Structure 1
Amino acid sequence: MTSTTDQRPGATPDDEFLWLEDIYGDSPLEWVRAENAVTERLLVTGEFQEMERDVLEVLDSTDRIPMVSKRGEHFYNFWRDEAHPKGLWRRTGWDSYNSAHTEWEVLLDLDALSADEGIEWVWGGAMFLRPAEGAPYRHALIALSPDGGDARRFREFDVVSRTFVAGGFDIPAAKSRISWAGPDALHVATDFGPGSITSSSYPRTVRTVRRGGSLDDAELYFEIPEDHMMAVVMRDQTPGFERDIAIDTIDFYSSRTHLRRDNAWVQLDVPDDVNVSLHRQWLTLRPRTDWAVDGTVFTAGSLLGIDLDSFLAGSRALTTLFQPNAQTSLQSWSWTRDYLLVNLLNDVSSEIRILEPSRQWRMETLDACPPLHSVDAFAVDDEDDDAGNDYWLLASGFLTPTTLLRGTVGGTHTPVKASPSFFNDDQFTVEQHFAVSKDGTRVPYFQVAATDLVLDGENPTLLSGYGGFEHAMTPAYSGVIGRGWLERTTAAGRHGVYVLANIRGGGEYGPAWHRAALHANRHRAYEDFAAIAEDLVTRGVTRPDLLGCTGRSNGGLLVGNMLTHYPHLFGAISCGVPLLDMRRYTKLSAGYSWIAEYGDPDKPEEWEYVQTFSPYHQLRPGVGYPRTLIWTATSDDRVGPVQARKMAARMKALGIGNVWFHEALEGGHAGASDNRQAARMHVMSHEFVWKALNGGL
């Protein structure tokens, strides 16, 4: 059977599988359950269940680092384990947290709450109201998702009484963005009814909700055009610098920042593609393209600083705080009270710099970053009188369990917590290699393999990547990959090899690395990934029938293009929560918001190139496709499950017999809403690829 899809822009698609787009329809869900049963009969064996237990042991381990956020005198943490699959929100003091046996005060038990209310709540975070001077933190907005999706309900919680506030704020589940506007008001961006949602399915209006009032009574505070992506207003609660900041997010890479001054919004005079950040009196700016200011050109990916009041008064005496080069890019920055922490990547290894604005931005490099590792520095609590210049360091490597350290600018940093080793990491070695893409670009990748790896092409290898949205793929310790892939051995005793690609479209080398694979140039990301696959074969690590690839979300689109354009390079493909139907992606879930990344298929000139990387439209009968698992989640309201459904259905209709499908009936875009679901998701992907490469299918 061949595709009958009408590919003309603007035409109603003659798509034989449109019926699968009814996410909760009886017929589509009946199809899903039937496909799930086929896949589970194939994969869920005794060996699978044993591996699932091993992975769940990692995810549920009580020895993991409980990451915390400091508010006042307390350190807050959200925690899941075997006894608490939905999770606990809890807190402790510094002395207890810094000890070997932390004692926690439980504030909210989500398992108990879910049982009491008959809703399977999934934690979405907490946002505190800053108390009056001298008073303790008490009130927080708790975000809870009813199904693991992006839509969340916000409820006011009292951490002293450990109860939801009777008659307090309670904003119904939606894709909301909320900020405290004061002790008795919220700035709420949510679904207020017709006309309040953008084409991207996010709020386009922000209204002020008063205590005791309703959404219907809320006063309009800020709004954006319907074809922009999202509106949000944030309240900066820093003492002495209280202010409202409104952001009109036009698309993923363009936005306009406004300050509330004299009861009116004042837009900051910077190009739409400049990232804006405020800290006390400082304005920091990161241009995504070269920016000419008064005869000076500031390079894309640089970081610039200026006093905010001076900028608003017309000064453009910008100071360059970081200047990128061919190897080094800016990833993030964080302010302590008096210093700026700058996180960089140098050929995808971390580097951290500390800048002091009071001394003409004097800079020093923090000596805490071993090569081929990821280390992130961020403030502990910039508003703390005694610890305002303290910072966390979170360090990790493929074979180095994550360590959390705490330091003070100008002093030393000391270990606080360390994760245990979850697999025999001393048996393996990390290497970085560079492949040469089709256009001559050198593309880095990490290889994690047995120390005694034999380069004869006989090693089962899993290649993972993403390549989109300027997201950098960096080294990180994973007990799941260690147990689920690296420690596995073939009948001949060969360990699995794991490879992480740093292809264009990502952010490993800054905005230019990302822009290189946008729109009509999307195939550069796929050419990079294919070049790495070929390099692995050329170097003798593996051969095509022993090489699998995996990706999720935009990474699912990546491996979908490996399936349709490079089927000869792979023996198996695991495609998770993917974009695949690029003709209709803008009409599905939050897809409209990604036009800046991929292009608009409703414009004829853009559909001309978009269709070339739309796997759903690139399938052809008679092609020898590798074994493929396509997996998703019903409650994913970001990408949605329908593209995965339709791709699997079309492959089967084309007579492609080596495709399997699985859909978790809960879990959101992450594919899982608790550790048990996450363990099944990870093991299903790894088990499928392992069996496909080693003759088990």
Structure 2
Amino acid sequence: MTVASATGTAAAAAEETAVAGIPGPEQDPFIFLEEARSPEALDWVAKENERTLAAFESDPRYAQLKAEALAIFNSDERVPGVGFAPYGMVNFWQDAKNPKGILRRTTLESWRTDKPEWETILDVDALAAAEGKEWVYGGMSCLPPEGTRCMVYLSDGGKDASLGREFDITTKSFVEGGFALPESQGSAQWLDEDTMLVSRNFTPETTTESFYPFTTRLWKRGTALEDAPEIFRGEKTDVSSGASLLRDGNAVIHGRLAYRGVSFHEREYFFEKDGAWLKLDLPKKAGPYGIIDGQILFSTDEDWTRGDQTFPADSLVSADLEAWKADPNGAAMTLVWAPGERQTKLGAATTKSSLFVNLLDNVRGRVLKFDYADGKWTSTQVALPDNATVGVVASSDETDEIMFTSTDFLSPGTWYYAKDGVTLEQVKQSPSYFDPAGMDVEQHEATSKDGTKIPYFVVKPKGMTLDGSTATLLTGYGGFQVPRLPGYLGSTGKLWVEKGGAYVLANLRGGGEFGPMWHQTAIRENKQRTWDDFIAVGEDLVKRGFTSPEHLGIQGGSQGGLLVGTFFTQRPDLLNAAIVQIPLFDMLRYHLIGRGASWIGEYGDPRIPEQRAWIEGYSPYQKIVEGVDYPAPFLWASTADDRTHPAHARKGAAKLKALGQPYYYFEDTTGGHSGGVDNDQRAKLQALQFVYLMQRLMGPAAGE
């Protein structure tokens, strides 16, 4: 069976009519919108944009909201986030003068001052102008330990797919005749100055159904990429596969690892031993986590039984690195850390001597420092503020230097530096962008349909009374084990809460707030639990008098856009506004649109009748039907989004229009899945959404 490309093809759509239960052109008149840049689709988009912009930009509040958002995004008072590099502190910066951004560096001493002195490494605006491209900077990967020979990644308009070019930090220029990777998904890793491991979409035959690579090649300087020998191959049915180097913080290479992504949440790992790939005895929801103090660490998202030991889900496990290299499936394993009730780990960072793990404890942050000495692991809690979202933002492989941040809904970020990893110095304070006076934060629980308690946070504006009259914005995510955490509201605080609106963040099953099981209990056949949780929070807000259906709106993007779509199609009576951002929406064809096939592990496969039945029960596109009044949703997307693809939002709007339902649709030609490539575009999107919310939930502007 032919699978549609990332931009969609009519031919593939026609073929799908042969697959039972998958709508084709005869059943779906809007499949033409799956062609991202066809003249017919772009003409449809232009007409929708004209109507939506006329409705929102003419509102007297629009200009002020955009100006306020842009002032925040372009503020010179923003703390420039940095990373440690052997040649200084590196920052990527966007403002009014540099909308596409500049990559720059300074010293630690200078960065700690109020006015750091910066040296530009790469000017993306100048590069884009010279080449006539809408370049979006996608980061760089550098050869350790010096870190001066790099691959710089650039995407055209913000797509996930990017090209790579070899760059020399010392000369601040691209290397003439150097390594160059064509536009693709995938990765590349330096082996030495003249050799790379490359996992890219080399040909259609080496690309999975999810449009990711499943082979890796060893590429030598001066040779053609297509001639590079293949060193690892997964399967076309994988989500993705590839090989990489097992390298420690001192840049010592200990061998090669490879993986097969057999689903979005499951991987099989391999270690190259004696010239062959040895499959590792790991659960499919477990994998390598790093090297520290001569120990190799693993993380597992499911219980892992090895001999007479069982390591609980979400734990950290280690083995002596040399013993493991000699016998990967027989080396002794040691428990490093296991979660307590309502605890989970979020990620890790390493310095020269220590491992730092970011934890959530009942949705509040902690950081633990781990060290291995004298045959045992010890942990120390870093003395960061309690009752806040905290984490590592930068760490050095060459030293024990590390930086942390702390924030909450009403407090801008505070930056801490520790030369030795634990002795904290407050070094930066982000500016305040709204007045928090009189606002407060509460945490409550709603009871979902099956009785599970679902926590949520409410940020209340000053003077709020519990009479149901407050315009309230409810948001969440609930997928892919991704947590939604309290963080400074920034533009939302200025454009919404300061103007009298309430903000609610729900911690839904399917997310990662309480560990792997919080996620795994709400996927595939149980995905409706996520939608039930979100609806339950909305019901609870009304029951407690925080708001009423007339004044309740919801917002979410990507998986969160699907979340919003299921809410407004299942409970349209509970809402008066719904912002559907860069969403998944047509779940019976999602595996054919964008990179949807990679998410079958989360939702199920609509080509399989039993699994299609799970999805048909909630797919928002199919649930938009005649005879129901929907809350005039606002759907928006990006033409350049090659991940969820604009077709989802387009088709939702088109179906609402066909049924005579009120709706709004907007699509930017650039932005990709992030929804904005420069600060002006981000400010515009913010203003459009908050004008919509104000019109629906607060009423007309004063004087109208």
Aligning the two structures, in what range does the TM-score lie when normalised by the shorter sequence? Answer: over 0.9
SS in structure 2 at match of 1:426: coil
CA shift in 2, pair 1:537/1:6, >3 Å: farther
Q: State TM-score, norm by structure 1.
A: 0.94
Counterpart AA for 2:452: T
Q: Aligned partner of 1:652: which letter?
A: K
Correspondence for 2:383: 367
2:133 aligns with one of 112, 116, 119: 119
Query: 1:184 offset after TM fit, Å?
Result: 0.6
Q: How much has 1:379 moved relative to structure 2?
A: 5.7
Matches within 5 A, 1:184-195: 184-195=194-205
Which deviates the most, 233-242 or 413-422? 233-242
The answer to whether residue 49 in structure 2 is matched with residue 39 in structure 1 is no
- Give secondary structure in 1 for the equivalent of 2:100: strand
Separation (CA, whole Å) in 2 of partners of 1:261 and 1:15? 52
1:205–1:231 CA contact under 8 A, matched in 2? yes
5 Å-filtered alignment, 1:432-581, equals 432-488=443-499, 495-581=500-586
Match of 1:60 among 68, 74, 85: 74
Give yes or no for contact 2:245–2:253 (8 Å, CA) kept in 1. Answer: no
- 1:267 match: 279
Written as runs of structure 1 = structure 2, the 5 A alignment for 1:69-84 is 69-84=83-98
Deviation digits for residues 357-405 of structure 1, max 9, x if unmatched?
115112222221321x2100366212x1xx2x22211211111101221
SS state at 2:458 partner: strand
Equivalent residues of 1:522, 1:613 under 8 A apart: no
- The one-character-per-residue Cα deviations of 1:473-526 (angstroms, maximum 9, x if unpaired) are 0011131111121112xxxxxx10001110000000001000111011111111
Pick aligned residue for 2:405 from 394, 406, 417: 394
Deviation at 1:316, TM superposition (A): 5.2
The range that moved more, 359-368 or 684-693, is 359-368
CA drift of 1:10 comes to 5.3
For residue 411 of structure 1, report the CA deviation from its aligned partner: 4.4
Moved more, 682-691 or 158-167: 682-691
What do residues 422-474 of structure 1 show as CA deviations (whole Å, max 9, x unaligned)? 11023311111111111111111111112432111111000011100000000
Which residue of 265, 288, 295 maps to 1:276?
A: 288
The aligned counterpart of 2:258 is: 246
Q: Which moved more, 1:190-199 or 1:328-337?
A: 328-337
Specify the SS of the correspondent of 2:69: helix
- Is 2:672 the partner of 1:668? yes
Q: Which residue of 1 aligns with 2:188?
A: 178
- For residue 492 of structure 1, what is the aligned residue in structure 2? none
3-state SS in 1 of match to 2:434: coil
User: 1:286-365 counterparts in 2 under 5 A?
Assistant: 286-312=299-325, 313=327, 314-315=329-330, 317-359=332-374, 360-365=376-381
SS at match of 1:28: helix
Given that 2:320 and 2:331 are in contact with CA atoms closer than 8 Å, whether structure 1 keeps it comes out as: no
Partner-residue secondary structure (3-state), 1:645? helix
State the Cα distance separating 1:258 from its structure 2 match.
2.5
| Residue 681 (structure 2) pairs with residue 677 (structure 1) | yes
Compared CA separation, residues 6 and 243, structure 1 to 2 (3 A): closer
Give the 3 Å change call, closer, same or farther, for CA 74–454 of structure 1 in structure 2.
Answer: same
CA contact (8 A) 1:333 1:378 kept: no
Contact map agreement 1:233 1:245 (CA 8 A) in 2 = yes
Q: Do the aligned partners of residues 468 and 182 (structure 1) sit closer, same or farther apart at CA in structure 2, a change above 3 Å counting? A: same
- Structure 1 unaligned residues grouped into runs of 5+: 489-494
Specify whether residues 413 and 540 from structure 1 end up closer, same or farther in structure 2 by C-alpha distance, changes over 3 A only: same
Q: CA deviation at 1:580?
A: 0.6
Question: Match for 2:32: what amino acid?
Answer: W
Distance 1:683 1:242 in 2: 51
Cross-structure match for 1:160 = 170
| Alpha-carbon shift at residue 327 of structure 1 (Å) | 1.8
1:242 shift after superposition: 4.5
- Confirm or deny that 1:381 pairs with 2:396: yes
Aligned-residue offset at 1:166:
0.6
Q: Indicate if the aligned counterparts of 2:91 and 2:105 stay in contact, CA closer than 8 A.
A: yes
Which of residues 142, 149, 162 in structure 1 aligns to 2:159? 149
* Matched-pair contact (CA < 8 Å) for 2:22–2:589: no
**Greater displacement, 671-680 / 350-359:** 350-359
Check conservation: 1:35, 1:661, Cα contact below 8 A: yes
Equivalent in the alignment of 1:201? 211
Aligned CA RMSD, in angstroms, stands at: 1.8
Q: In 2, are the aligned partners of 1:335 and 1:378 still within 8 Å (CA)?
A: no
| Same amino acid, percent of matched pairs | 36
In the alignment, what sits opposite 2:418? 407
For 2:472, the aligned partner's letter is T
Per the alignment, residue 592 of structure 1 pairs with 597
Structure 1, 475-484 or 75-84: larger mean CA deviation: 475-484
- The answer to whether the 8 Å contact 1:6/1:15 transfers is no
SS in 1 for 2:76: coil
SS of 1:86's partner is coil
1:216 corresponds in structure 2 to 226
Cα contact 2:22–2:588 (8 A) shared by 1: no
1:412, CA displacement in angstroms? 1.2
- Tell me which amino acid in the other structure corresponds to 1:144: L
The one of 609, 618, 637 equivalent to 2:614 is: 609
Distance 1:367 1:690, change over 3 A: same
1:687 corresponds, among 691, 699, 704, to: 691
Q: Distance in 1 between matches of 2:686 and 2:489?
A: 12
SS at match of 1:84: coil
Q: 2-side partners of 1:641 and 1:12: how far apart? A: 18
Q: Does 1:638 align with 2:643?
A: yes
Counterpart in the other structure of 1:491: none
Establish whether residue 107 from structure 1 lines up as the match of residue 121 from structure 2: yes
Measure the CA separation in 2 of the matches of 1:647 and 1:611.
15
Instruction: Report the more deviating stretch, 307-316 or 358-367.
Output: 307-316
- Residues 549 and 208 of structure 1, relative CA distance in 2, 3 Å threshold: same
Output the amino acid matched with 2:354: Y
Q: How much has 1:91 moved relative to structure 2?
A: 0.7
Measured after TM superposition, the shift of residue 6 of structure 1 is 10
- Give how far 1:293 is off: 1.9
- Mapped to 2, the partners of 1:691 and 1:326 lie a distance apart of 43
Instruction: Structure 2: state its 5+ residue gaps.
Output: 1-16
1:543/1:187 Cα in 2 relative to 1: closer, same or farther (>3 Å)? Answer: same
Q: CA 1:193 to 1:343, structure 2 compared with 1: closer, same or farther past 3 Å?
A: same
For 1:627, what is the secondary structure of its paired residue?
coil
